[in-house]
Chains A and B, each alone.
Chain A
Amino acid sequence: MYFSEYLKFAIIFAVLIIVQVSFIWLIAISNYNITPDLVIVLVIYIGITRGQIPGMISGFIAGLTMDLLNGSFIGLLALSYSVAGFIAGYFSYTDSSKSSVKRSIIGIMFLCTVVAYSIFFWIYYQGVSISYGEVFMKFVLTTSIYTLVFGVLLTLFSNVIETKK
């Protein structure tokens, strides 16, 4: 990645983190305040398009920033996002595999989000009387599906830009 690319992604991350921390509750759904995670969408996108190392490192930095801003459980989102970046980077495409990866990008995004949030909520709900199955259904799946909606939008958006080029 070139410096200009780093700068571009840093700016997008900063905007997404501010939106995620300050405004995302406006579109929270259900009694459990389920919100989409815009930041993880970008981490996964970087992982798929730029490879495992940029995916992991951007995930770690973005997660740590989110942890600091949320003011609780520092390191937990850093861990989850790093794992998401690592898995997404595993599916990172070369020119020859680009079309097949693009076809399954939604599935990859869903997999990364489910794994990342499984880790997050598994640690977060340690010592709580509710079962992990319940946590998985109420929080992990719902958050992943809601996030996927924004992942689909990002994919469509990037396809449109690519087609115009």
Chain B
Amino acid sequence: MKAIGLFLLNIKEYLIFSLLIVLSLILIFSNDNSQVRFFRAIAVGFIGTIQSGVSAVPNVFEVQKENQFLREKNIELSNQLSELKEAKLENIRLSKLLGLKNVNLSGVIIASIVNKSLVQARNTITLNVGESDSVKINMPVITDDGLVGRIVSTSSSYSIAQLLLNRNLNISVKVQRSRVDGILNYDGSENVIINNIPKSADVKQGDIILTSEYSNYFPAGIPVGIVSEEGNLDNLFKKVIVKPLVNFTALEEVFVLKHLPENERVILEEYYSKK
């Protein structure tokens, strides 16, 4: 017994090392469970408090420029708003005529970015809105330019959104002109690419890419990017490279869409995939 004790004492470094490796692997493989979300929410709340304090310090050199830009944008948006009101009324009339279901879009939440984590391929942003502002996990994040990403973690006053430039985010998209579908994701280096596009599909440089109706998480029709390059990947598929419409390095304010996947659809799809 004493010999075993001595032996274990001699290899204690290796035992602790093995224990830590096993613990890490358990954590890695149990990502996205409720316990981890709980700890993540506490951590997000803590760091968000510090970051909001830091972001409160104004950059005086930028304020004047930003003011000018916002005035111009305001005028532009006012014009767009009146056009959109007209379009909405027309849309309601046409939807009634065609008998289409309404998209579950009940509004937006305006949010400021209190931190950007543009580190390698784990690109995320921290927003100053959280559960108390009705923000929930999986809600889409957009700007007036297009899709920014998706909420992945929330605390009571802060939330974290994965950007389009995050390897963990896959989005079902379509080409606006030719309605060709595909899955868009970040390849981890410098490109956003669309996968699963057949070689014969009609995709051209300059085509606008939108979110598709097949997406569970994003409402259809949100602009995502423009096709910057297309070529053949192999004998079967095309390689389509997309330039995002949003300038992620200059992002300061975003909108969180109060849009969640339709439960009935999610349950049905999960049920069928398990069968």
Name A's B-contacting residues (CB within 8 A). 18, 21-22, 24-25, 28, 31-35, 52-53, 56-57, 60, 63-65, 67-76, 78-79, 82-83, 86, 89, 123-125, 128-130, 134-135, 138-139, 143
| B167 in contact with A128 (CB, 8 Å) | yes
In the complex formed, the residue of B with least CB distance to A120 is B120
Interface segment, B47-55, B68-76, B84-92?
A: B47-55
Query: B143 within 8 Å of A by Cβ?
Result: no
Name B's A-contacting residues (CB within 8 A). 12-13, 16-17, 20-21, 23-29, 31, 36, 39-40, 43-44, 47, 50-51, 54, 115-124, 152-153, 160, 162, 166-168, 187-190
Chain A to chain B contacts (Cβ below 8 Å), 18 pairs: A21-B117, A22-B50, A22-B115, A25-B117, A33-B118, A33-B123, A35-B120, A52-B17, A56-B13, A57-B16, A60-B23, A67-B27, A70-B119, A72-B162, A72-B166, A73-B28, A82-B17, A124-B121
Most buried by B among A24, A69, A73, A139: A69
| A32 in contact with B120 (CB, 8 Å) | yes
| A71 in contact with B54 (CB, 8 Å) | no
| B40 in contact with A71 (CB, 8 Å) | yes
Q: Which residues of B contact A60 (CB under 8 A)?
A: 20, 23-24
Most buried by B among A72, A134, A135: A72
| A82 in contact with B124 (CB, 8 Å) | no
| A129 in contact with B187 (CB, 8 Å) | yes
Given contacts A25-B117, A73-B28, A79-B25, 16 further A-B contacts (CB under 8 A): A22-B47, A22-B50, A24-B119, A35-B120, A57-B16, A63-B24, A69-B47, A74-B40, A75-B28, A75-B29, A79-B21, A82-B20, A124-B167, A129-B187, A135-B188, A138-B189
| A139 in contact with B167 (CB, 8 Å) | no
CB distance from A52 to the nearest CB of B (A): 4
Q: Which residues of B contact A34 (CB under 8 A)?
A: 120
Tell me the number of A-to-B contacts counted with CB atoms below 8 Å: 125
| A25 in contact with B116 (CB, 8 Å) | yes
| B27 in contact with A75 (CB, 8 Å) | yes
Please measure, in the bound complex, the distance between the C-alpha atom of A86 and the C-alpha atom of B24, giving whole angstroms. Answer: 14
Given contacts A22-B51, A79-B25, A79-B28, contact A71 B153 (CB under 8 A): yes
